Structure 1
Amino acid sequence: MAKAKTDTKAKTKKTQPAAAESFGPRVDVFDAQGKPKTVDASALRIAFADGRSLILGLPNTVDGPITLVAEHADADMHAMLSLRPEHHDSITLRIETQAAELADSTEEAFDDDTAGAEMLTLDLTVQYGDELKAAARKALPKERDIEAWIAPALFADAQLNVRFVGEEEGRTLNRTYRSKDYATNVLTFSYAESAEDPVSADIVLCCAVVEKEAKEQKKPLLAHYAHLIVHGALHAQGYDHEDAADAKEMEGIETEILRDLGFADPYADR
């Protein structure tokens, strides 16, 4: 994981239904023995012994939304939903409870804290090196994933270019800008010359190295990409790991961000 400084700025058929049609949602309910029963339904309510319940509202049109509502049988308690991404095709849903009085005060405090907060903007572009063929590109993280990983790592508006490259280009960049004749996992080329300058950078990932490391470290490839992209985004904002104190700070931020994104601690096995 490296930060490379340079003064040279880089320039930075699925058919949709013609109209929404009415249809009756069908729900499969499985008993304790795994035997299914299919029913027509507009909503599904799951009740728990402690008073919590989850209502799943089903759409009555092809493109209608699915709604989730948490409730509590006790009027003095609030039920709250929290979601945590696990993989690209699954999430963990938790129904938590809190005393109504405490929940109301927490909500007021949150509103006060966020009333004047500004939403940060990310101008993101994604590029691919000439060495990467179409099949290889399909296996790489999608732009929406990259954006979701970078967002919590931003502390200012940023213009970032994430570029995936082959081993030859990765080695050339590392040799040219860091005098190291080998390809490394990630390079960050930051173009801000002072803390006042806008955050602008190229984050270059060498796919062959990232894939090799993920295999050797027995990590999911997507998780390793997420870590390195967050790492690069922090480098773009001035974070570094040249000494022990800076490294500890940067690694702590990375670990917290990745945990909130649903990934394991990238330094746990070190």
Structure 2
Amino acid sequence: MTPEVDLIIEDERWRSLPLQSISQDAVGLALAVATIKVPVEVSLLATNDEGIAELNSRFRGKSKATNVLSWPAFELFASDPGGQPTREIPSDPFGLPAIGDIALAFETVMAESQSGGIRVEDHILHLVLHGSLHLLGYDHENEADATLMESLEVRALASRGIATPY
């Protein structure tokens, strides 16, 4: 089951990377570790620090750049801390269900990759995986939720031979 990623490139520097294939792999990994068996669509905005800072300010009240932001289309979050989110993704009569949007900031992603000694492709995979898990109802607002979400990320990354980022 290959998810569909609607890639919007706002900063041309992203074109030097295989962002489409990395992001499709990352969304697929998120679906697999979350045991979601329906194909979905995700929109990915490949922007820069200025663009993501504006989005971060508008939607989170934080006027600074960050590496990744996500906007879930559905309220799939668990009702109890550390609980599993709902696996009921509403169907769409017009195509794949669009589960939400993710944005990445070029300069921040590159700087984190370099400072952490991480292959940029592996870091992008992790960030899109992280954002996709948010779209599927996972969060890290409390310790129980963070433990669950991080365990899924670690398992998914290990399946690609990528060391834990935690």
**Normalised TM-score (structure 2):** 0.80
How far the C-alpha of 1:140 sits from its partner, in A, is 2.6
After superposition, residues 13-92 of structure 1 pair within 5 angstroms as none
Between the two proteins, what is the percent identity of the paired residues? Answer: 32
Partner of 2:144: 245
Q: Does 1:140 align with 2:21?
A: no
Q: More relative contact order in 1 or in 2 (CA 8 Å, sep 6+)?
A: 2
Q: How many residues align?
A: 144
Q: What is the SS of the residue equivalent to 2:149?
A: helix
Partner of 2:93: none
Can you list the C-alpha shifts for 1:84-106, whole angstroms capped at 9, x where unaligned?
xxxxxxxxxxxxxxxxxxxxxxx
- Opposite residue 176 of structure 1, the aligned amino acid is R
**Counting strand residues as a fraction of each chain, which structure ranks higher?**
1
How far the C-alpha of 1:176 sits from its partner, in A, is 0.2
**Which runs of no fewer than 5 residues in structure 1 stay unpaired?**
1-119
The structure number with the bigger radius of gyration is 1
User: Closer, same or farther in 2 for the Cα pair 1:144/1:121, shift >3 Å?
Assistant: closer
How far the C-alpha of 1:145 sits from its partner, in A, is 2.5
Contact 2:25 2:125 in 1 (8 A): no
- RMSD across aligned C-alpha pairs, in angstroms? 1.7
- Please point out which of 43, 52, 56 is paired with 1:170: 52
**Which runs of no fewer than 5 residues in structure 2 stay unpaired?**
77-85, 91-97
How far the C-alpha of 1:151 sits from its partner, in A, is 0.9
How far the C-alpha of 1:219 sits from its partner, in A, is 1.4
Contact 2:70 2:103 in 1 (8 A): yes
- Opposite residue 69 of structure 2, the aligned amino acid is L
Misfit runs of 4+, over 3 Å: 193-199
Partner of 1:230: 129
How far the C-alpha of 1:162 sits from its partner, in A, is 1.3
Contact 1:141 1:225 in 2 (8 A): no
- Please point out which of 68, 81, 89 is paired with 1:186: 68
Contact 1:149 1:261 in 2 (8 A): no
Can you list the C-alpha shifts for 1:125-158, whole angstroms capped at 9, x where unaligned?
11111xx23xx13323331232122212112432
After superposition, residues 75-154 of structure 1 pair within 5 angstroms as 120=1, 122-129=3-10, 132-133=11-12, 136-154=13-31
* Distance in 2 between residues matched to 1:226 and 1:141, nearest whole Å: 11
